[in-house]
Amino acid sequence: MKRKMLIFFIVFILLVSFTIPVFADNSEVEELELNARIALIYDRASGRVLYEKNGDKQTPMASTTKIMTAIVVLENTNLKDIVTIDSKSASIGGSRLGLKKDDKVTINDLLYGLMLRSGNDAASALAIYVGGSIQNFADMMNNKAEELGLTNSHFVVPHGLDNEGHYTTAHELAKITDYALKNETFKKIVSTSNTTISINGNLKQINNTNKLLNSVSGVYGVKTGFTNGAGRCLVTAWEKNDMDIITVIIGADTNNLRTTDTKKLIEYVEKNYELVNIKEIIEEEFEKWKKINTGRIFVEKGSKNSVELLLEEMNFENMIINKTDINKIDIKTDILYSLKAPIKQNEIIGTLEVLVDGENISTLEIYNKEEIRKKEIRDYLTEFMVLIQNIKII
């Protein structure tokens, strides 16, 4: 009997030992092994960073500068305008569209040369035409950066050749790109694999330096870059399964490695994330909370004893969430349960905090919908009369 029990115990231990791995915690997301010294994934729907490696480190950004150059040009000129190429632009080094002094090219065709061929000559010509000088155009770029709320970016040149004081971060470069992609002309240009432009009426075919456009499903832009200071760079826009992201690679050793790193970032999102309607979840949870808690809010000396609550609108509806965090969405409400009249219409009386796995995603304000005035003598008299009427009825 004892021997049978011993055998049973040994078999049980062996079974448990082999079974435990099935229940192992697989929630940990795989580590990304990247060649680039700087990398980032940006969710366009929410503006949230999904992954970063030195994402807020100031760095040169080579020709990805031209994303900002294109923004400033598109917002300050007409695509049909014709530019006569100056001698400074015609003689600039690095990657070129092949412009010569006194060539005549439309703004539209220069923008294609800027973003597809990465022409430094096109960048310089556009800057001088729009700004009057490289310095003035750089000022326009910096003014735009300030308008976008960027605090770690500064522009000196329109093409991205290494210059002291010319820098950004991967995070802010993603924000610049997100803003640019809201311009349909910009989006059309950077998603073009090849096109034909006209220089002095002569046709010239140009191809996009971004090879991912033709090789990775869902990629629709944006810009390559290289200088000795920045290394190999690649900003990419990718959209699939309702997920829309921007990836940034800066400081890769070779073109192949920047491409490989970008593919890894895209695959990382495709494998580990999904799109969630966070606004709908928040509104449903807030309605549940109101049913339980609104009656607990008391207004001292108010013409009304209760309040009607409104929640601030979110500035985005959807967001990409790690699949392991779908059940870790938490709503925390902080509100004043004791209020004193008068209370203005739309006065803030609390906040709602949205957390995903403990990370604050958004903090929304809770408002009082209607004005609640302080009680006056007539209100007290009305209450007294109602009380008398109730006593008579009894």
**Catalytic position from the list 46, 53, 63, 375:** 63
DSSP state of 59: B
The C-alpha R_g of the chain, in whole angstroms, comes to 30
Q: Is residue 63 flagged as an active site residue? A: yes
**Catalytic position from the list 53, 66, 144, 375:** 66
Residue 64 has φ and ψ, to the nearest 5°, of -65, -15
Q: Is 48 exposed, middle or buried (0-12, 13-18, 19+ CB in 10 A)?
A: middle
Question: Which of 352, 334, 338 has the alpha carbon at shortest distance from 302?
Answer: 338
Question: Which of 322, 376, 371 has the alpha carbon at shortest distance from 347?
Answer: 371
Question: Which of 211, 262, 270 has the alpha carbon at shortest distance from 239?
Answer: 270
Q: Where are the alpha helices (DSSP H) in the chain?
A: 2-19, 66-76, 87-90, 107-115, 120-131, 134-147, 170-181, 184-190, 212-215, 255-272, 278-293, 377-393
The rounded distance, in Å, linking the Cα atoms of 89 and 92 is: 5
* CB proximity list for 348: less than 8 A, separation 6 or greater: 365, 366, 367
Q: Which two tokens stand for residue 344?
A: 């203005």
Q: Decide if 107 contacts 130 (C-beta within 8 A).
A: no
**Catalytic position from the list 118, 124, 153, 362:** 118
Q: Which two tokens stand for residue 53?
A: 């490696």
Q: Which residues are catalytic?
A: 63, 66, 118
